[in-house]
Amino acid sequence: MTKYLNENIWKPVDGMVLEPIADTAVRSNINSVIIAGPGAGKTELLAQRACYLLQTGICKEPQKILAISFKVDAAENLRKRVEKRCGSELSKRFESRTFDSFSKSLVDRFRLSIDMDYRPPRDYDIIFTTREVREIAVGFLTERHPTNPNWQHGINFDVLFNHLANNSLPFSEDDADIYNWIRRRLWHILLHGKNTLKSSITFPMISRLAEYTIRNNYALKRALQSTYSHVFLDEFQDTTYHQYDLLKVAFKDSDSILTAVGDDKQRIMGWANAMDNSFSQFLVDFKATNYHLSLNHRSAPKLVEIQNVLASSMRQGAPNVTSSDKWGDQDGICQVWNFPNHFFEAEYIALEISKKIHGQGIRPRDICILVKQQEHIYAKALIQELENLNINSRIEKEYQDLLSEECIEIVIEFITLFSCEQSPKSWQRVIDLMIYLNGFDPTVDLEELVKLEKHLQSFIDEMKREVEVKQLNAAQALAFASILFQSILNFVGIDKIRSAYPKYLRDSYFQDIIDKGVQKLSEAYMKQFNWYEAVLEFLGEYSIPIMTIHKSKGLEYHTVFFLGLEDDAFWSFKSQEDADLCAFFVALSRAKQEVFFTFSNSREIMRFRELKTVEQFNVNISSLYQLLSNARVQIISFS
């Protein structure tokens, strides 16, 4: 039996001190919205609230908390934070998922309750891009519109991609609008397939199907509401219209208590159909209370000052934020560096990074290189210069999604057990996982637990001998990484993994993840020649991460270098100034202590599908430079 704490004696976990409003929000028993700037501790607040609800029994077994994030890694970070704060037992009732995985799991489980017109087959494929939708539309939608027979010529396919999920199901029969006409027909083709085309649907379509399923299935709706006594919504500024409709149909006017956190100045998903007014709509629809936080726990005072100038220019009445008292008044550096060309830029930054790592003892993992887009191109010269100085860097997107795959996590925990003498956390996680997958209660079935521990120990002993083999070459490392994956997954039970994580039921997906994992792990081994260090290398411990602003959301670093504060990087600034300012704000606010933006008079970029070195300007983004000047950011020119 779980022992619960009295609400009045519950204190924030891990010695965290919450500002009074955050504390009120953590203990709130009504729907609420917490709007707060970067580093205000929104994610931490959700983690503390999860602890509060689980430890006090306000969320009582078998009830659960459903936490919805946008990105796989954000959902994973939140899950790990809750597990760290309140232990693995309680955190089993904290279900941290993305919107996409939540809606897909509903459609997959309740598919048969959807009427035939909208029911996808069991083995539908998922399509992600406008290009795929365009190819299918042009290739398979052979009908002619009555007034517009050559409809393909006038269509903006980006608009069509979003339009596919603009409205709730079922569709109206109104075909006057060409996009409506295409949507109805394309849905049919995508859902049911045609000729050689297999059923292939987008995540926004899945979201609409989930909403439709809940709306037409009262028992399911009641089950969701009684299972999830509490629902958390992270990064709420990025909620799209279809996701919001799903949320409403599932939880509006229910007893489930919703907590949404976010920052409208970090709204950078407008292009993906994020709502313009998610916070105000939520306040009305869910009769929610609004809380504002005013501390920044992340950034040093000089950086917070600049964030305040930017924030007040972006949003009228944005509250002034202060930094936490762990800093000195003058801490924090923000500068713009001007270079004659990108080779000079790369050489200079590589040397600065080297000084930080070797002189100041800053870990590579605490430094980040950010770009607006095309990280392979913008960071190419810098990656080379860093390599010349024996400093590893890596394009993080090749790892972020892979590392949040459950099957990769399982393998990593096991290899840690085989290759590191003391790893009690990995032992505990593996035991918890095996208990979960084997479906027994260790407090009741002690014998089963002892058997499991013995079985695991003998597997570890056997594998320990295997990983101690002599140094391997690249081909041997690849083969051995493959053996490690197979042995571990077989030991855990592939069928069990697949039924716990149904996405792995798709053979091609599962195999692809394993192949990528084997490849990356063996590459990591070739840098370290030791499997324990290879795991750390794979996790990114020894490399400087390189990523786009979009990928950096929710992350933080001691020092950030942003390459290319230039017109070409912000090529659509004139038409989407607010979105680009939000992106810039996200970049600026990832830094705890130092952030440097660079401008290079000439730079190699992709133009008309060709790599070219071209002159750079900051004319279109002059208002951004003006804001930096208002914030008294120093500009330094190197020649």
Ligand X SMILES: Nc1ncnc2c1ncn2[C@@H]1O[C@H](COP(=O)(O)OP(=O)(O)OP(=O)(O)O)[C@@H](O)[C@H]1O
- Residues 506-545 binding ligand X (CB under 6 A) are none
Q: Are 49 and 232 in contact (CB under 8 A)?
A: yes
**Among 17, 159, 272, 483, interactor with ligand X by CB under 6 A:** 17
**Among 211, 263, 568, 580, interactor with ligand X by CB under 6 A:** 263
Give the integer Cα–Cα distance in Å for 19 and 291.
12
Rg (the chain; Cα; Å): 26
Residue 43 touches ligand X, criterion: CB under 6 A = yes
Total of residues contacting ligand X (CB under 6 A): 18
Write the CA distances from 322 to 124, 326, 559, integer angstroms.
50, 12, 20
Give the integer Cα–Cα distance in Å for 610 and 608.
5
**Among 31, 33, 41, 102, interactor with ligand X by CB under 6 A:** 41
Smallest distance, ligand X to C-beta of residue 553, A: 6
Residue number, 36 or 233, with CB nearest to ligand X? 36
Give the range of 36-44, 54-62, 96-104, 200-208 binding ligand X by CB under 6 A: 36-44
Smallest distance, ligand X to C-beta of residue 324, A: 6
Q: Is 126 left (phi over 0), alpha (psi -120 to 50) or beta?
A: beta
Give the range of 39-47, 207-215, 434-442, 484-492 binding ligand X by CB under 6 A: 39-47
Smallest distance, ligand X to C-beta of residue 159, A: 30
Residue 363 touches ligand X, criterion: CB under 6 A = no
Give the range of 31-39, 202-210, 240-248, 525-533 binding ligand X by CB under 6 A: 31-39
Residue number, 240 or 296, with CB nearest to ligand X? 296
The annotation places the binding site at 36-43
Residue number, 416 or 589, with CB nearest to ligand X? 589
Residue number, 79 or 603, with CB nearest to ligand X? 79
Smallest Cα–Cα separation from 93: which of 131, 133, 53, 121?
A: 53
Residue 469 touches ligand X, criterion: CB under 6 A = no
Give the integer Cα–Cα distance in Å for 171 and 29.
38
Give the range of 13-21, 148-156, 239-247, 629-637 binding ligand X by CB under 6 A: 13-21
Smallest distance, ligand X to C-beta of residue 636, A: 27
Q: Are 203 and 103 in contact (CB under 8 A)?
A: yes
Residue 40 touches ligand X, criterion: CB under 6 A = yes
Give the integer Cα–Cα distance in Å for 617 and 565.
9
Residue number, 208 or 551, with CB nearest to ligand X? 551
Q: Are 472 and 424 in contact (CB under 8 A)?
A: no
Residue nearest to ligand X (CB): 41
Residue number, 492 or 582, with CB nearest to ligand X? 582
Give the integer Cα–Cα distance in Å for 56 and 49.
11
Smallest distance, ligand X to C-beta of residue 581, A: 16
Q: Is 316 helix (H, G, I), strand (E, B) or coil?
A: coil
- Residues 558-577 binding ligand X (CB under 6 A) are none
Residue number, 238 or 580, with CB nearest to ligand X? 238
What letter does residue 3 receive in the DSSP assignment? P
Residue number, 18 or 582, with CB nearest to ligand X? 18
Residue 308 touches ligand X, criterion: CB under 6 A = no
Provide the token pair at 348: 């200079």
Give the integer Cα–Cα distance in Å for 291 and 36.
8
Write the CA distances from 81 to 32, 41, 75, 78, 193, integer angstroms.
21, 12, 10, 5, 42
Residue 298 touches ligand X, criterion: CB under 6 A = yes
Residue 42 touches ligand X, criterion: CB under 6 A = yes
Q: Is the peptide bond before 146 cis (omega within 30 degrees of 0)?
A: no
Number of helical H runs and strand E runs in the chain: 26, 19
Where does 6-71 have alpha helices with state H? 20-26, 42-55
Residue 16 touches ligand X, criterion: CB under 6 A = yes
The annotation places the binding site for ATP at 36-43
**Among 31, 101, 426, 589, interactor with ligand X by CB under 6 A:** 589
The terminus-to-terminus CA distance of the chain in angstroms comes to 70
Smallest distance, ligand X to C-beta of residue 235, A: 8
Residue with tokens 């199901």, as numbered in its chain: 169
Give the integer Cα–Cα distance in Å for 231 and 247.
10
Buried-state track 94-107, b at ≥16 Cβ within 10 A, e below 16? bbbbbbbbbbbebb
Residue 204 touches ligand X, criterion: CB under 6 A = no
The residues of the shown chain that bind ligand X, judged by CB under 6 A, are 16-18, 36, 38-44, 263, 266, 297-298, 554, 556, 589
